Amino acid sequence: MKPDILITTNGFKGTWPSIEYGTWLAATLEKKITLLGVTENINPAAIDDHHPLEDVFARAVELFQQKGVQYSLEIQNGNAEEIIPRKAKQSDFIVVLSPLGRPQIRRLLTGRSIRHLMEEIEHPILYVPQSKLPLKKILICIGGLGYEVTAEHIAMQIAMKSRAEITLLHIVPPIDLDYPTARTVGKNWKTLSQTDTPIGRSLRQAMEIAKTDGLTANITARQGNVVEEILAEVKKENYDLLCMGSSYSANALRQLYAPNVTAEIAEAVAIPVLTARYKNEISLSG
């Protein structure tokens, strides 16, 4: 897959970080941008009024031209949570999103939009609550179950273009079950890359890829609650981009009782979060 960049906005000023960051990404990877504007809740009496999308589009086009990226513009009427996944299905995209500015009461009743969009969009998602550039430090969460492979691969290619430093993070959660692999992980959580466990093999493979690509990479491990430890690592080391897999990459009963860690993290951090479901192969080149 050789995805282009789909940037989305509903005119809310908080979506500008996705346009800024998506433009940087398109320029870095030499990709074409599709800017999708969603016009929501049109009042027939105000059909001729100035719409916020006009200002956002004008500003975005100026930025696209300044950065020299190819782009196309599209406007659709409807609900953004429905329009964006439908558009994403039409081609291979990395979908770049920011908060849509929903009222607090709506978030309480229906949940945050990012959770719904992660469920519905099969392509990689780059969620940008705030744009953090230049890109110098990338944190890739390695879980050992294979969910993170696609996000990891994309992150490596972005790092190659931007020459960013990579940190591979694994969190060892409290282990309730007593079996050989669990005991090995619990006993050797600080040196997991040296163990013959699924996570150990995943870490070694990721390091080998990074070295082959000429990247600066290191491994760090933490023990405790997964969400809390990832947030603590992000805060401690001041990363510029966080990359994680998605539990929706696997069709398993695990999804029914495991928390969506990626969504919880995306809602809590103030840096861009790249998430992607597992796919056998993805390429950003060409």
Per-residue pLDDT tens digits for 121-145: 999 999 999 999 999 999 999 875 5
Torsion of CA 188, 189, 195, 200, to 10 degrees: 170
Q: What is the pTM of this model?
A: 0.87
Whether 11 contacts 52, CB under 8 Å: yes
Partner residues linked to 244 by β-bridges: 275
Q: Percent of the chain scored above 70 by pLDDT?
A: 81
Rounded distance between C-alpha atoms, residue 15 and residue 172, angstroms: 35
The domain segmentation of the chain, as residue ranges, is 4-127, 137-276
**What kind and span of H or E run contains 226?**
helix 226-237
SS3 98: coil
Whether 247 contacts 254, CB under 8 Å: yes
**What kind and span of H or E run contains 256?**
helix 254-257
The more confident residue out of 152 and 94 is 94
Joined together, the tokens standing for residue 116 give 């719904």
N- to C-terminal Cα distance for the chain? 10
Q: Report whether the peptide linkage leading into residue 174 is cis, meaning its omega lies within 30 degrees of zero.
A: no
CB atoms within 10 A of CB 286: 5
Strand 241-245 relative to strand 137-141: parallel, antiparallel, unpaired? Answer: parallel
Say whether pLDDT at 283 is over 50. yes
Rounded distance between C-alpha atoms, residue 40 and residue 138, angstroms: 35
* Domain covering 137-276 in this structure, CATH number: 3.40.50.620
**Which residue in the block uniquely carries the two structure tokens 């705030």?**
130
**What kind and span of H or E run contains 74?**
strand 71-77
Joined together, the tokens standing for residue 110 give 């229906």
pLDDT at site 49:
58
Q: If you average pLDDT over residues 47-69, what whole number do you get? A: 88
Say whether pLDDT at 16 is over 90. yes
**What kind and span of H or E run contains 9?**
strand 4-9
CATH 3.40.50.620 fits 4-127, yes or no: yes
Whether 13 contacts 133, CB under 8 Å: no
The answer to whether domain 4-127 and domain 137-276 are alike in fold is: yes
Rounded distance between C-alpha atoms, residue 262 and residue 266, angstroms: 6
Q: If you average pLDDT over residues 218-226, what whole number do you get? A: 91
Q: Percent of the chain scored above 90 by pLDDT?
A: 56
Joined together, the tokens standing for residue 194 give 């040296």
Strand 93-97 relative to strand 241-245: parallel, antiparallel, unpaired? Answer: unpaired
User: How many Cα atoms within 13 Å fall on the side-chain side of residue 224?
Assistant: 8
Say whether pLDDT at 117 is over 90. yes
pLDDT at site 257:
38
Q: If you average pLDDT over residues 156-185, what whole number do you get? A: 81
Rounded distance between C-alpha atoms, residue 238 and residue 156, angstroms: 19
